[in-house]
Amino acid sequence: MPLIYASIGEENIVKKVVGDQSFKKHLEDMGFSAGSRVTVISMTSGNLIVRIRETRLAISRETAQKIII
């Protein structure tokens, strides 16, 4: 299921990232690789604040739909 549907505060494991090679590389550089643990901290206007590798990041709704948990 895409990350956009994750419950706030629930830890999830990234299974894969879909998209072209440069998009996948960009997300991998931010920490979104298979096996990484990710937690949605908050969601506002469809955008998400997530915690991954002890870092908080803001990602768009479109990006969150391409991260499969």
Examine the pLDDT at 46 and tell me if it is beyond 90: no
Q: What is the pLDDT of residue 45?
A: 84
Four-residue CA torsion sign, 24, 25, 29, 33: positive
Give 59's pLDDT tier (boundaries 50, 70, 90). Answer: very high
The structure's pTM equals: 0.90
Q: Measure the CA–CA gap between 7 and 3, rounded to whole angstroms.
A: 9
What are the start-end ranges of the E strands in 1-69?
A: 11-13, 16-17, 37-44, 47-52, 55-59, 67-68
Q: What is the pLDDT of residue 58?
A: 95
Q: How far is CA 41 from CA 20, 28, 48, 59, in A?
A: 27, 20, 7, 11
Domain 3-68: give its CATH superfamily. Answer: Ferrous iron transport protein A (FeoA) (2.30.30.90)
* Rounded mean pLDDT, 22-50: 93
Examine the pLDDT at 7 and tell me if it is beyond 90: yes
